[in-house]
Chain A
Amino acid sequence: MEEDRGEVILFRVAGALLALLALTVGLSFADLGRFSFAVALTVAAAKALLVAYYFMELDESVDAVRFMAAAGLVWLGLLLAGTLTDLITRR
């Protein structure tokens, strides 16, 4: 049924999220040196995207909504980029 198919996708996404959780926990035990934090954040970003796209229905939303969602991330990126650029380039 149409209803059930829609719900099946949600269960699949949940499964993927738990798998990614296991992955990130496992990777935290591997010695990735300087990259371990970046890797963990990347997996987190993947999880966040799944939640946003499927649970928060961005896949079916109008452009205005997607723009607002993206804008939040971009603006946070601006705050981080500008400030951390200063921090990293100080002598």
Chain B
Amino acid sequence: MEPLDYLHDGDTVSSWLLTTDHKRIGLLYLFSITFFFFIGGFAALLMRLELLTPAGHLVQAETYNKLFTMHGVTMVFFFLIPSIPSVLGNFILPLMIGADDMAFPRMNLLSWYLFMAGGFFALSAMILGGVDTGWTFYAPYSSVYSNTRVITMAVGIIIAGFSSIFTGLNFIATIHRLRAPGLTWSRLPLFVWSLYATSLIFVLGTPVLTMSLVLIALERLFGIGVFNPALGGDPLLFQHLFWFYSHPAVYIMILPSMGVVSEIIPCFARKRIFGYGFIAGSSLAIALLGFLVWGHHMFVSGQSLYAGLVFSLFSFLVAIPSGVKVFNWIATLHKGRIYLRTPMIYALGFIGLFTIGGLTGLMLAALGLDAHVHDTYFIIAHFHYIMVGGAVMGYLGGIHFWWPKITGRLYSDFWGRVSAVVVFIGFNLTFFPQFLLGYLGMPRRFYHYPPEFQVLNVLSTAGASILGVGYLIPLVYLAWSLKYGRKAGPNPWKATGLEWTTASPPPKENFTQIPLVDSGPYRYEGEEVAFD
């Protein structure tokens, strides 16, 4: 008798809301973060509509400030940071290492509830009038002068931070101690390496953000001048504390995506990954170096020139391991047998867009250039190329790669490729004009702008509409596949990796027998293959 799969093993509400099964928890996160994605996307829609015309017509300035704050907070803390780790990481990691679950399953469930509690406070802050400080909460505006729901929002982010911390803790313990027999560190799939590096950042960085927001809240409540210059405090102290986490946070957002790309490319090029050790090592290097560069957000803030030089140097250095990855992926593709299925389209798009985003990051690492484009749309374009062109594309690629495993169904690859292309086109149309706008001097976080910038803004808004459509299409065909899609076998992509050796969807305890590993990952032979 085949065991029930995890989706059907228990169908009461409490069997879902009280589950400790990492697979179900991954799905709970999937629903939550998708919800927040559309909230953040809605804010972006309103912003782009406002920016269709030079003068402010759609919303007032104060409302616009609340919109970009809502967009930033939701997208960063409630979508991007948890996206791959909490959805795909939770689901796939134990399967990938041959374990039955995470090291601490109940802590995993607690993480989800903390995320939801944090989200509740953040939503409350928005509903009760919003916050206008920007997702960066700079003091003393956030700690003294803003008349918006700063503390409520801060509480939400603080609570969600604990969700991250416990997730990272769980991943580290799981990877250290729950690998299947024979699965040595040097045989681990690169997705696991990327999750490990990400988890290091979770545990080492998030607590500092937590404390920085606690201090903002205390300053608002008690009026002691830690950050308030009028009382002898220093606004730069807040920025150091904030960016110490928030810069490595961007590596939390990109490293798992890179891990996904490292899984997709060998499978759809039917070739071993080139430079496994270098890619694994580069994940760790990015996690380390990523903590040494935070001052590059503060070049024009009043930070000392000497500190600026040091942070600039390290910002150049941190590009190196990323470059190593890009070259290794390209070398893997070289002379591979390429299959352009949906996950591969996303992975290839990732490589191109991440490279552009990364190169513009190098430009920004240079003190002189950054002084010119700081607080302009150049910065916005830069980080959206990485966060959206990179991280989100990787996330969508991962969703499409592991969808058959998660749901036991195959989606329409035609529609998958269509929406991947629509996303790619819409994305570039949205954000490339913003590089030009920023370089020409259009500042960010303004609800109006000089008329000469209108054409580029209109192009950007047009692109955003297309991008939005590209994100909506998958909702349709993925949902459709749940009922009408062909059933998937255990390994529709003929991929290597332990997760593909068990049923789709897997049974609750993952494996009917403990897997034994006797060789390294990505044992692809370049053969012609028929996918399911």
Contacts and interface: CB of A to CB of B under 8 A. Distances in A.
Contact of A75 (B176, B291, B302, B311): B291
B59 interface: no
Chain B: interface residue count, which band? 20 to 34
Contact of B208 (A79, A86, A90): A79
Interface string B302-326: 1111110011000000000000000
Nearest to B173: A64
Contact of A78 (B200, B291, B302): B291
A9 interface: no
Interface stretch (B2-10, B35-43, B236-244, B266-274): B236-244
B255 interface: no
A61 interface: no
A86 to B, nearest CB: 4
Contacts of B204: 71-72, 75
B295 interface: yes
Contacts of A90: 302-304
Q: Classify the secondary structure of B's interface with A.
A: helix
Contacts of B240: 79, 82-83, 86
Contacts of A91: 304
B78 interface: no
B292 interface: yes
Contact of A86 (B291, B292, B303): B303
B304 A82 contact: no
A35 B311 CA distance: 29
Tell me what chain A mostly uses at the interface: helix, strand, loop, or mixed.
helix
Nearest to B311: A82
A91 B302 CA distance: 10
B427 interface: no
The contact size tier of chain A is: 10 to 19
A87 B236 CA distance: 9
Interface in A67-91: 68, 71-72, 75, 78-79, 82-83, 85-91
B244 A86 contact: no
Nearest to B208: A79
Nearest to B308: A86
B294 interface: yes
B306 A82 contact: no
Contacts of A82: 240, 244, 292, 294-295, 307, 310-311
A14 to B, nearest CB: 30
Per CB-CB distance, the 5 closest pairs between chain A and chain B, nearest first, are A86-B307, A89-B304, A89-B306, A83-B240, A90-B304
Interface of A: 64, 68, 71-72, 75, 78-79, 82-83, 85-91
Interface of B: 172, 176, 200, 204, 208, 236-237, 240-241, 244, 291-292, 294-295, 298, 302-307, 310-311
